Chains A and B, each alone.
Chain A
């Protein structure tokens, strides 16, 4: 049983990274900040699993070209494909779906939206 457990762990450790990076062709990384159309302020952001959840959830949308979550600034930068839009409501719903809360949405044109905070 110990041998079986060890082999299982070894196999998963070997295979997991390859599987996780497969199929994700959208932009990620700090370079997204430079071209971002939307900056989303977040609360509840404490670790890389949080970043992963937000990135994966947003990247499923066709409108999204790339995302980057910065734990230091507690913001997610979202780059959209040309002529695409994501409304404030959609952004708030996506953040909630990932398990987090939106504190502020800032657009490229400088406009800001602060969602009402639930008690």
Chain B
């Protein structure tokens, strides 16, 4: 409980995330894919009311070579609509199972499994020209250990595009993963946004690529 309180508190202060906007409009489906040096993650969610979405989450931890499979609930805790901006604060929670990624047939070992829980908070503020976001996450992965991660992001649109046109953003993301080999780092990325699709391509300070994709249906 103390850990959860810490995560929530850090989320208020710390960075905003690439997984911002995890709640869409009622009856909408969304696909969110994130691929970077730390993880390959897929989350498909269904927004069942103005404030909640739920759906499967699959996450491969590249640092520790295990896979999380579970269900994630997202809640829009607060939205601020202003004439020229919007800000959001989200909470996220997932439960599931973690499994090591060893090839049991080749290595002749039994795969290890355990229960896992994930808590996260994120927030964002954006205009049509500027973007700021932050997130804090905490994973309890049973025998695979616990870890936290904090992300922050700032972005600027070099031009302001109208509805249906290609929107382009130049962004920089910083991260702090206290339990990871790559504790602190940054990623430069370009976001392309058109209609229901959002694609992000980037490279981090170690030369590792980032490829994120979001699509709303």
Interface residues of A (CB under 8 A from B): 1-2, 5, 8-9, 12-13, 16-17, 19-20, 29, 43-53, 56-57, 60, 68-72, 74, 96-101, 103
Contact = CB atoms under 8 A, between A and B. Distances in A.
Contact of A52 (B40, B79, B216): B216
A44 to B, nearest CB: 3
**Interface size class of chain B, counting residues whose CB lies under 8 Å from the partner chain:** 35 or more
A64 to B, nearest CB: 15
Given A8-B33, A19-B217, A20-B196, A47 B167 contact: yes
Contacts of A1: 40, 60, 67, 101
A72 B198 CA distance: 20
B195 A52 contact: yes
B33 A12 contact: yes
B4 interface: no
B24 interface: yes
A45 B85 CA distance: 7
A98 B163 CA distance: 17
Interface of B: 21, 24-28, 31, 33, 35, 40, 42, 50, 60, 67, 76, 79-86, 101, 126-128, 161-164, 167, 193-198, 211, 213, 215-217
Contacts of B33: 5, 8-9, 12
Contacts of B85: 44, 46
A12 B31 contact: yes
A48 B195 contact: yes
B50 A44 contact: no
A68 B48 CA distance: 24
Contact of A49 (B35, B42, B127, B216): B216
Contacts of A13: 213
A2 B62 CA distance: 10
A74 B21 CA distance: 20
